[in-house]
Amino acid sequence: MVDPEQARQDAGPVPAAPPAVQGAQRAPGQETENKLDNGKPGNRKAICGRAFRKHPDTATIATPSGNTDPISCDEYPFAATYESSGFPTANGGLNAAQNIDYAGLECVQTVVAKGDGTREHLYNDTTYDDPKWFAPCGRSSMSNYVNTQSMQPFGVKFAKDFRLLDYDEYWVDPANARFSGCDPSQAVIKCKMN
């Protein structure tokens, strides 16, 4: 297993963020879904496949095409990065879960739900055990439409436009300046978006 502290030191300074958000900084290293040569499941499948439960309170939307919006699993760090907890160390992964076959169970579990009836909020998914810090990843039960649209430009546009090559570093800005009162060292993390 990769020592999270050593990986952070090797990666250089990371803007302050909740533990599950610190990390992803490399370009995709393998083909889509990161199909591995050793027959193990791809990174996304390792995080969102086994033991993922669609939360019944997940907020879905009416898609522009009018299709029913299914519930999806979103993961961070991105499946297409070396920091994905579903990417085994033996294959070059930098943040591999201890149990790669059930990597998603080591993540912070969240759900995007309409807590006040009108707006989506990110909540702790209480159908799983409480998170253990340091958690190597985060996964959330959320709208498939929102999930597939939010990072769709990454591989199609961002990596191409910025000519990212294998192992090139990049930074993910979680817009920390827009949040107040976030202290990831606390047992309960509450943040307010400005």
Model pLDDT, residue 63: 82
Phi and psi (nearest 5°) for 26? -125, 155
Q: Give the pLDDT of the chain (194 residues) as one tens digit per residue.
A: 444 444 444 444 333 333 333 334 333 333 333 333 333 447 888 899 878 999 999 998 888 888 888 999 999 888 878 888 988 888 888 889 998 888 899 999 999 998 777 788 888 999 998 877 788 999 999 999 888 887 777 777 877 888 877 777 777 776 667 766 777 777 777 777 66
Model pLDDT, residue 159: 78
The shares of helix, strand and coil residues in the chain, as percent rounded to the nearest 5, are 25, 15, 60
- Angle (CA) 163-33-124 rounded to 5° is 105
- Terminus-to-terminus CA distance in the chain, angstroms? 37
Model pLDDT, residue 78: 84
**Chain centroid to CA 146: how far?**
14
Model pLDDT, residue 32: 39
- Cβ contacts of 117-126, under 8 Å, gap ≥ 24: 120/59, 125/55
